[in-house]
Chain A
Amino acid sequence: MISLQKIILGIGVVAFLASCGNSGKSSSKMTSSSNASAAEQVYVPPGEHDEFYAFMSGGFSGQLTVYGLPSGRLFRRIPVFSQDAEKGYGYDEETKPMLMTSEGFVPWDDSHHPELSQTNGVPDGKYIFINGNNTPRIARIDLTTFETVEIIEIPNTAGNHSSPFTTENSEYVVAGTRFSVPVPQRDMSITEYKGNFKGNLTFVSVDKEDGDMDIAFQILVPGFDYDLAHAGKGKSHGWMFFSSYNTEEAHTKMEATASQNDKDFIAAVNWKLAEQYIAEGKGHEMPGKYMNNEMNHHTHAATSKAYDKVMVLNPDECPGLIYYLPTPKSPHGVDVDPTGEYIVGNGKLSSDMSVHSFDKMLAAIEAEDFEKTIDGIPVLTYESVLAGVVERPGLGPLHTEFDGQGYAYTSFFISSEVVKWKLGTWEVIDRIPSYYSIGHLMIPGGDSKQPWGKYLVSLNKITKDRYLPTGPELAHSAQLYDISGDKMKLLLDFPTDGEPHYAQAIPAELVKPNSVRIFKLDENEHPYAAISEDEARVEKNGNEVHIYMTSIRSHFKPDNIEGVEVGDVVYFHITNLEQDWDTPHGFAMYGANTSELLVMPGATKTMRWEAKRVGVFPFYCTDFCSALHQEMQGYIRVSPKGSSVPLKYWTGEQE
């Protein structure tokens, strides 16, 4: 998006400024009665719940946020690829492994596209996946706990942008290379990019029962920039479509050199055939280091496993595996309508939008209607696969979602608007400004077989004059539109946390009933848990001290500890004995070179603390837990090395 932003800011200044001016006017024209009716539509009375959960990517925050629709209220920021000190994520000993990669501990990423798991092409509310763009990864968030439970790294790729779009039953989520690289990595001149750098289209399998992700196979493809993806559905189930740009295979000054060709490609991948080729032994084992990190909700701890090879298919050895659909011009989003027939290419530098037909694609394949072949991949002729063209709908089309009523909605970055058009007739029905510079847009279920086409959310890059200014850095924003009528109607405008690229939403009823309230103490298998106060204790082996500590409103046990010496490494293992909803306890230790712990009821978390100097140091509970929360504190005494102070600990009467 950043490079696109620059291109567009460069080439489209006049259009953009004009659009801003217009937007201002139309906004001020809004009558007070239409304001009142918009307010009523988004008003969720105190104590009542929203109709939809919306999950918005955090962009360069690396996280995922949870909002309610239509209220626009923020409920939760789920840490995914970045450390989050508020929750201890990536700081406590249990979650640090979640951020391990083959490059070591990577405490940040750039998260772009949330994608809900699907059953029969419809979001099922079990999981939400999101990609890490920078150090290629896919994360799985469990929607019973709203916690990141798995992260898998994608080897032999870079810039994991066209990810993690799902197939109809979440058989796979995918990852495509945006920044092609030498595969496998080697020392070579950047100037030899063309023909030598490669992309990879990776299919990550998702276990039907427990959601466990594995790299099933990769397909080695020409070194274009694979930008976005969407799975076929219904009749096109079994195919995955990836958009690409930079078919020029340029490697420098890309904003000019990667925009030379009239048409780039949408790659249509027959993944069911890929499965067959793998079964037939057509895959090659290729070196590729990656990590797979998983959280276990019995031990309350994540573990990392390292892998060193992947199974790769070469298109020139696998006829029928991939076809290229020519698409003008540097297509960004590739979006498949709910019937699975129309494949929309959002050619971001094109003045028209091309829509391909799945049926025509199959016919062209059958007739071998090929323009040429690139590295064993047939390029179908543009005219033979074209279903229709939406003519001059706006400037800079990026993404399209669907309402399930036969209409498509496309975001236009340069002209800063949402345009509604009709599938089949390709006529523009309605347009409405966004404030400003819309990137993705989202309709609940809008990339699935069954959209809940009541609302549309635009996810905007620039907010300028929209909110009270906060210095040089301003919030990104989301705007909520009512799309239930013929004309789109702006209802609400709210700032977002981080840069929301894509978002997804789902009816609350599909998620809410499954929400976990506590972890059962009986099921706590953490090796350092103390599941009752009887088990609270301190053990010392050499200079390693393990404190098995419990917390309950409102005391720790033990809360006084002596016998620790300078140079000791102290592990505070805190088990929260509460078994009631909304009763986490925090734990903060003076001078700790890490964050606090935040321990959910029934769980155990660990802080590592080094005793660096002589003294008596306090610890306390950080999350207001009861009327006696301020009393929830304790001390640890640190004596000189070799001191004769015995190891002792107590709460209440000295033991």
Chain B
Amino acid sequence: MAHSLKLLKYVAGAFVIAFLSACGGSEATEESSAGDDPVSYVKKAEEAKGPNKGIGPISHVELGALDDALATEGEALFNKMCTACHKMDARHVGPALVDVTERRTPEWIMNMILNPDEMTKKDPDAYALIAEYIAPMANQSLTEEQTRAILEYFRKYDNQ
């Protein structure tokens, strides 16, 4: 296992500042692009106008009328793959998901499910969540179609 990486994550919980500097360093070697660290992302986000779509494969989601069958499929997937850490209406290992479609854009929700490693390192909102909850957002290797179904379930839940 990548112990050093995990250790980094652990340290992030206890000592956020240490994490920030370590993370900045590793970003520099990985992509050699300065300013990709969470601090500048947070700053960018503060300045940013418009909704945050997150980072990942989803750049645009076309939302239509609620698709009940898709939502039902999403609910089954959520119960199987997500409930170890999430409840809809209460904080568990991760945050309660009620009203998530009001807090986040559909793209952000799907990117957080599909690309949690990068999101929790680089997206300011996701970074704030891991700083609060400490537990990592597990990548459950879902497909984009499955993730879209889960989003539909969240929409249905929030409509009710």
Contact = CB atoms under 8 A, between A and B. Distances in A.
B79 A580 contact: no
Contacts of B157: none
Interface in B35-87: 79-81, 83-85
B140 A557 contact: no
A188 interface: no
A533 B84 CA distance: 6
Contact of A557 (B10, B84, B141): B84
A580 B139 contact: yes
A530 to B, nearest CB: 11
Nearest to B83: A533
B81 to A, nearest CB: 7
Contacts of B79: 532, 534
A304 interface: no
A531 B140 CA distance: 13
Contacts of B10: 624, 626-627, 629
Contact of B134 (A531, A532, A580, A627): A627
Interface in A572-592: 577-580, 582-584
Contacts of A578: 138, 140
B70 to A, nearest CB: 19
Interface string A562-604: 0000000000000001111011100000000000000000000
Contacts of B12: 627
B13 interface: yes
A154 interface: no
Contact of A579 (B3, B13, B29, B81): B81
Interface string A529-555: 001111000000000000000101111
Interface in A618-638: 623-629
Interface residues of A, number: 28
A531 to B, nearest CB: 7
A629 B81 CA distance: 20
A488 interface: no
A626 B80 contact: no
A580 B83 contact: no
B84 A550 contact: yes
Overall SS of chain A's interface: loop
Contacts of B138: 552-553, 578-580, 583
Nearest to B26: A47
Contacts of B135: 553-554, 626-628
A628 B134 contact: yes
A580 B3 CA distance: 15
Contacts of B1: 582, 584, 623-624
Interface in A623-655: 623-629, 652
Contact of A518 (B84, B92, B141): B141
A578 B141 CA distance: 9
A531 B7 contact: no
Contacts of A555: 84, 93
A580 B6 contact: no
Nearest to B137: A553
Interface string B94-105: 000000000000
A514 B93 CA distance: 34
13 contacts: A531-B80, A532-B83, A532-B84, A534-B83, A552-B84, A579-B138, A579-B140, A580-B141, A584-B1, A624-B10, A627-B14, A627-B136, A628-B135
CB-based closest 5 A-B pairs: A580-B139, A579-B141, A627-B13, A552-B84, A627-B10
Given A534-B79, A579-B140, A580-B138, 13 more contacts: A518-B141, A531-B80, A532-B80, A532-B81, A553-B136, A557-B84, A578-B138, A578-B140, A579-B138, A626-B9, A626-B136, A627-B136, A628-B135
Interface of B: 1-3, 6-7, 9-10, 12-14, 29-30, 79-81, 83-85, 92-93, 134-136, 138-142
Interface of A: 46-47, 518, 531-534, 550, 552-555, 557, 577-580, 582-584, 623-629, 652
